[in-house]
Chains A and B, each alone.
Chain A
Amino acid sequence: MSTLAVRLRFARTGYGRFGLAGSLLLLALIAVGPLLAPHDPAAIVSIPLQRPSGQFPLGTDLLGRDVLSRVLWGGRSIVGLAVLATTIAYVVGAAIGLLAGYSRSVVDPLLMRAMDVLLAIPPLLFLLVLATGAGRTIPVLVLGVAIVHVPSIARIVRAATQEVSTRAYVEAAVARGERLPALLGREILPNVLGTVLADAGIRLTASILIIASVNFLGLGLQPPRADWALMISENRGGISLQPWVVAAPAFLIAFLTISVNLVADAIARSLGTSTDLKRVAR
């Protein structure tokens, strides 16, 4: 099925259309937001926890920084890191799945048992342990979230590869004497790609949920970075004086995750697959 047909079909449903519009709107806001920000997001511009006013439309935060400017800057990390983590997960998961699915030796059970063990650890616990051992840095966070996705991606790729690798064109390639990387990359990968990417949207939503949660717990990005999840956890103490400092990023995260998930759900539906978000996410 061509990508275009998928795009048209999912956009025909009401949810899909709403989600697509919402996602595009937010992506635009995240992309141009920093250009529109009236203040430096890190600069202390006024007294702390001021209510919204003409000068500061969303008020100021616990340190006296402009909430509007921080909100306009704060979406980049959440979306950027989630896309990065999901991409790495697909590359690694696909490589493992292709190898395990094509190999008929001990490599297959070895790789798949390793994946089973990873699946047996609650994802959030895995990330917390990683943060304890390897520190609270961006590379650790991104790699950790990627590893959380790898086992289930590898499983799907493996199943699809096993099916494809018995086809005549693969056997022909083997007979031609093609080497393993070429065989996996040129003959098998293009033919399993559709199955594999069907739930990419749902995995992206899951990555956004996990990354935001870890940042909220203070175990990912560190202050003074402007990040929606981090803004909520930093300013929780000021919620009674200035609710907007928490409400604005909370609404934006809600809007983002709901829109992206609506698109993902509509795509998965139009392809006839459905992966369950919470099972991916936690």
Chain B
Amino acid sequence: MTELAAPDLALADVPSRRRRHPLVGFVFRRIAAGIVTLFIVSILLFAGTNVLPGDVASAVLGRDSTPAGLAAIRKELNLNRPAPERYWNWLSGFVQGDLGSSVASQAVSGRPTPISGLIGDRIRNTAVLALCTVLLLVPLSIVFGVLSAMRAGRTADHAVTTISLGLISLPEFVTGTLLILLLAQWLGLLPGVSLIAIGDTVFTNPSILVLPVLTLLAASLAQTTRMVRAGMLEVLRSDYVEWARLCGHRERDVVFRYALRNALAPTVQVIALNVQWLVGGIIVTEYVFGYPGIGQALVQAVSARDVPYVLSVGMLIAIVYITLNVIADVLVVLLVPRLRTAQ
């Protein structure tokens, strides 16, 4: 009887521990940490745009500011109120979907324009650009990375390694400018400026997407390819791959049936990191091509010192960035079981 009692005890013990899968706890902790980070980032963004020297009102009016004009704008923006109160007003509005009003457009049209009305199309355009890039990035980086690892040390591998090392080092605006010079100016194949006429969408003339997507792909593809190659090489050197080879499997089978799956898990993290990197790359790329997305608008708003716009759009970008971070962390733990116990 005593021999039977032990498994019984174990069974009684296990369900209570299993009621909450350890992964669920991890996911919740990660999301909670993300929300806390976002909250602190919101304070930093507000402080960065509002509290530092340089009053918003004088920034908006620039050189032609009059005392009366300054006072009017200060009143309009509630700049006379203390900073914590203004922060709270902005944040509570933001959470409810009120992004505030653009100051720069107010200077032009004379009345405050709600930011949420200005950015709808731009967010869609940026999403299209990002999606096209990622949809090409993922398969291409796996293909190039795996091929390069299979041919490690040979000409094809050297070509991939050298080209990617070069492309990684280039800032996006240089890649973009060189592509414009080559494909738009010299060969005349593609439009060098990505303008969208009023009433049209990106898809009216998809050729405007080609150069921005190529620019974004150049650096991110080089980066991911290098990482996929490194991951694949590591797996190809492992014992079980050697064993499969010794069993007489063809190299192609070894790569595709045994090695690839195990090499892909770390790749997910690399790709997630690169999608995050795209957040910065898109801002510059949109500006290079005059592509009417949210990044171009942000740069214009910074130039005009449109503080409410920079603050709200900056917060949106930070939300996307941190969400991607959380998703990447969770995905990697999902895909690499070893990491679950390490948490």
A residues within 8 Å of B by Cβ? 15, 116-117, 120-126, 128-135, 205, 209, 212-213, 216-219, 229, 232-233, 236, 239-240, 243, 246-247, 250-251, 253-254, 257-258, 260-262, 265, 276-279, 282
Closest residue of chain B to A216, judged by CB?
Answer: B173
Which of A125, A243, A247, A253 is most buried by chain B, counting CB atoms within 10 A of its CB?
A: A125
Let me know if A125 and B280 touch, CB within 8 A: yes
Residues of A within 8 A of B325 (CB): 120
Choose, from B77-85, B162-170, B195-203, the stretch at the interface: B162-170
Report, nearest first, the 3 A-B pairs whose CB atoms are least far apart: A261-B169, A282-B280, A124-B280
Let me know if B171 and A253 touch, CB within 8 A: yes
Which of B180, B273, B280 is most buried by chain A, counting CB atoms within 10 A of its CB?
A: B280
If A246-B177, A278-B168 touch, does A133 touch B52 (CB 8 Å cutoff)? yes
Let me know if A278 and B165 touch, CB within 8 A: no
What DSSP secondary structure best describes chain A's contact surface? helix
Let me know if A120 and B54 touch, CB within 8 A: no
User: Chain B: how many interface residues by the 8 Å CB criterion?
Assistant: 59
Residues of A within 8 A of B47 (CB): 133
Give the contacting residue for A250; candidates B40, B174, B311; CB below 8 A.
B174
Choose, from B2-10, B21-29, B236-244, B295-303, the stretch at the interface: B295-303
Give 19 A-B contacts (CB < 8 Å), ordered by A residue.
Answer: A122-B321, A129-B310, A132-B49, A135-B53, A212-B171, A212-B173, A213-B172, A217-B283, A232-B173, A243-B185, A250-B181, A251-B178, A253-B171, A257-B170, A258-B169, A262-B165, A276-B223, A282-B279, A282-B281
Let me know if B41 and A129 touch, CB within 8 A: no
If A125-B280, A219-B302, A254-B178 touch, does A279 touch B273 (CB 8 Å cutoff)? yes
Please encode chain B, from 280 to 307, with 1 for each CB lying within 8 Å of some chain A CB and 0 for all others.
1101100100000000001101110101
If A135-B54, A279-B277 touch, does A229 touch B165 (CB 8 Å cutoff)? no
Let me know if A131 and B302 touch, CB within 8 A: yes
Closest CB in chain A relative to B106 CB, distance in Å: 16
Closest CB in chain B relative to A252 CB, distance in Å: 9
Q: Is B254 interfacial (CB-CB < 8 Å)? A: no
Bound form: Cα–Cα A251–B298 in Å = 27
Which of B40, B177, B185, B284 is most buried by chain A, counting CB atoms within 10 A of its CB?
A: B177
Bound form: Cα–Cα A133–B178 in Å = 32
Complex interface residues of chain B between 140 and 190 (CB less than 8 A to chain A): 162, 165-166, 168-174, 177-178, 180-181, 185-186
Bound form: Cα–Cα A273–B48 in Å = 35
Give the contacting residue for A130; candidates B48, B220, B276; CB below 8 A.
B48
Residues of A within 8 A of B302 (CB): 128, 131-132, 217, 219
If A117-B40, A217-B299 touch, does A133 touch B174 (CB 8 Å cutoff)? no
Closest residue of chain A to B54, judged by CB?
Answer: A135
If A120-B322, A212-B173 touch, does A217 touch B178 (CB 8 Å cutoff)? no
Bound form: Cα–Cα A249–B311 in Å = 33
Q: Is B44 interfacial (CB-CB < 8 Å)? A: yes
Let me know if B281 and A129 touch, CB within 8 A: no
Bound form: Cα–Cα A278–B171 in Å = 10
Residues of B within 8 A of A117 (CB): 37, 40-41, 44
If A125-B318, A218-B303 touch, does A133 touch B281 (CB 8 Å cutoff)? no
Closest CB in chain B relative to A41 CB, distance in Å: 20
Bound form: Cα–Cα A232–B299 in Å = 16
Closest residue of chain A to B51, judged by CB?
Answer: A133
Residues of A within 8 A of B165 (CB): 15, 258, 261-262, 265
Q: Is B91 interfacial (CB-CB < 8 Å)? A: no
Closest CB in chain A relative to B171 CB, distance in Å: 5
Bound form: Cα–Cα A122–B322 in Å = 9
Closest residue of chain A to B219, judged by CB?
Answer: A278
Closest residue of chain B to A210, judged by CB?
Answer: B171
Q: Is B317 interfacial (CB-CB < 8 Å)? A: yes
Bound form: Cα–Cα A132–B47 in Å = 11
Let me know if B41 and A120 touch, CB within 8 A: yes
Residues of A within 8 A of B37 (CB): 116-117, 120
Q: Is B112 interfacial (CB-CB < 8 Å)? A: no
Seed contacts A129-B45, A209-B171, A229-B173; 6 additional CB < 8 Å A-B pairs: A117-B40, A117-B41, A132-B49, A218-B299, A232-B174, A253-B171
